[in-house]
Structure 1
């Protein structure tokens, strides 16, 4: 039987959720579920309970004491998480919305999908507005992607304190363990579009920590103005402006 409650990583996509999952998965007591389960989008209680039991068994099978799951869109299901798992720890990842919009829009090849920066910026605002309702909940901790970059050990120690765990120095070497979470291949593909995207994400997961701050400055002036206009209020509330 597991001795600690589950942890769920949520947040708007492209906010560092994969990164945090890989880091926490290096802890000697924590099992990282290597997929987005979308468990709290299930409509039947029995389905949710069955999956939770499966996650417990997976952790036990590898001699771990607890598990962590990440589905970014669960930021819109925090109430469901707390209903089914009232003792769960929820880590809400946030990142500068301008960087998120730039990263998200860059994922799609021209003509493949009409995902412009305006849509991406609106998604960031909507997701974080839903998460904002729980910022002060005792079972929820807001973690900034940028803080992991600025001071890795301090930030991850704070996350682990919230979870009731101790920091382990090996966690900073998360990139040394090969992970095939999104694809069986770990090499960088030729593109990050279409069928290559899962492999591209998997390649990213296997890279050392890199500084992805301020990439929004590469946007055109027009896109920069659009994104800033849409995200401005939430950027201010999160301390980005």
Structure 2
């Protein structure tokens, strides 16, 4: 039997509508019926944890993964996964995204303020120039190109992974959470990335984005600031897929 939902405060949680707006969604606290808003977790049997991100009563994501108690990072959040991809509760459901560039602006700001280590976004030229100016004094490195009326940017921090994250804690969590045949490849790629940085490995090279698209799941998830528990669940799912499906997904 699952435990009750526990709120885990996260400043990334989008603000709820003020004044007139859509009706709140169906997710409510069992005690009192208040509208849920934020990241909620609950323990499941078998050492699993279920995570749901709720905005104004609407569940924008819901997944479960293994319990990984050691690793934490201010650059990792369940909201990074949601807000970078513009996830919603379903077609036509209310969401916090005000326009088609909302997620791009969110990624740009998250990078600028150290809320995620790597990302791509598109902005109007004037906004992109302001963003470039704001990078002064940060560890961000970027590449940019004009695409029609927008500027597309790929950016990442020059900080090395070993300084960005507690890799030893993450490695210990993977070894405990996954079967050995899945854990050891994850451990190997994390070890190999200790002295790399998102900027040096995935931004500066001409083929950096292609290289990132081919990177193993533990690296892609961590570099995007996604929760390792969610990544671990993906690793398990991918291991059960036929080899032809895995190869197609990696291309």
Q: TM-score, normalised by structure 2?
A: 0.23
| Larger helix fraction of residues | 1
Give the structure with higher Rg (CA): 2
Q: TM-score, normalised by structure 1?
A: 0.24
